Amino acid sequence: MTPEHILVETRGRVGLITLNRPKALNALNDALVDEIGQALDRFEADDEIGAVVITGSEKAFAAGADIGAMAGFSYMDAYLGDYITRNWERVKTCRKPIIAAVAGFALGGGCEMAMACDIIIAADTARFGQPEVKLGILPGAGGTQRLPRAVGKAKAMDLCLTARMMDAEEAERAGLVSRVVPAERLLDEALAAAETIAGYSLPVIMMIKESINRAYESGLSEGLLFERRQFHSAFALEDQKEGMAAFVEKRPAHFKHR
Ligand code: CAA
């Protein structure tokens, strides 16, 4: 079925998802988030895809969860419907790496969606924030959890409690985004980074992603042990033999399991 709120395409070995609700600044309604999940299912099942980029428009990556859709919610609607968790977790559970390419507003659920990805590359026009407090609610898709892990408690408190926005430069300084690029270069830079990742051994890329996520979610000793076991298992891969042989023979590696 053709998605209604996103565009889905492939560029080489990269799956590209473009949020496409321009009139609502890509506000994330249930249908749109379902469509992201379906696109990720497709890309995960496709051996020709090694990485994914999620992007928005020049004006907005996404201005948050759809306020109109939830304005009339009762507690029971939110709780029984498992609002926001139900389909949003799919971004987190994707085993292939996802880059968020962010221009313009990434607010509320938009900032949370970007943070659920593995890397955020920001245009110099990007603005991040968790303005839910202005609506009489709090972040509900990870803002109070992922933001402090990314930028520290003081800045996370500042953003969530005051609702102020952070520009791209501040977001890079704070560690939320990995690089800032001129807006007109955003998609090319994100696709190039994704293509680079997609050129490496996919099982190794997955192990790296899993290990870094373990650092994020567990204590140091447990994380180090997890990394070491993953490291040991990498020696079972043909791609490890190829990667090291290529280094010794001074030639590019040709990974079999891309
Ligand atoms: N939900 C639904 N519609 C939204 C929206 C949202 N989050 N954000 C913007 N829109 C709509 C506007 O209603 C407007 O629609 P109409 O033209 O039909 O009136 C259209 O997008 C354009 O928006 P503006 O006219 O407001 O554009 P602007 O340039 O003047 O302002 C903005 C841009 C500062 C981003 C402003 O739109 C804004 O503050 N949006 C809301 C941001 C927000 O509060 N996000 C958090 C949502 S709650 C959440 O995300 C919970 C969670 O944790 C998951």
Contact 60, 105 (CB under 8 A): yes
Question: CA-to-CA distance for 138 and 10, rounded, in angstroms?
Answer: 36
Specify the pTM. Answer: 0.96
Write down the pLDDT at residue 37: 97
Q: Quote the ipTM score.
A: 0.98
Taking only the tens place, the pLDDT of each residue in 207-222 is 999 999 999 889 999 9
Write down the pLDDT at residue 82: 87
Write down the pLDDT at residue 217: 87
Taking only the tens place, the pLDDT of each residue in 175-205 is 999 999 999 999 999 999 999 999 999 999 9
Write down the pLDDT at residue 42: 98
The single residue listed with the structure tokens 């709090």 is 138
Write down the pLDDT at residue 258: 87
Check if 139 has its Cβ closer than 6 Å to any atom of ligand 1. yes
Residue 10 phi, psi dihedral angles, 5° rounding: -120, 145
Write down the pLDDT at residue 85: 80
Taking only the tens place, the pLDDT of each residue in 100-120 is 999 999 999 999 999 999 999
Work out which ligand 1 atom sits closest to the CA atom of 130: 46
Write down the pLDDT at residue 36: 98
Which domains, ranges and CATH numbers included, belong to the chain?
A: 6-198 (3.90.226.10), 201-249 (1.10.12.10)
Contact 256, 245 (CB under 8 A): no
Question: CA-to-CA distance for 194 and 52, rounded, in angstroms?
Answer: 7
Contact 116, 146 (CB under 8 A): yes
Check if 129 has its Cβ closer than 6 Å to any atom of ligand 1. no
Work out which ligand 1 atom sits closest to the CA atom of 143: 53
Q: For the packed helices 238-248 and 202-217, what is the interaxial angle rounded to 10 degrees?
A: 100
The preferred substitution site among 25, 33, 83, 111 for testing ligand 1, maximizing ligand atoms within 8 Å of CB, is 25
Write down the pLDDT at residue 197: 98
Contact 56, 16 (CB under 8 A): no
Check if 39 has its Cβ closer than 6 Å to any atom of ligand 1. no
* pLDDT < 70: residue spans in the chain: none
Question: CA-to-CA distance for 192 and 189, rounded, in angstroms?
Answer: 5
Which residues are catalytically annotated? 65, 109, 112, 132
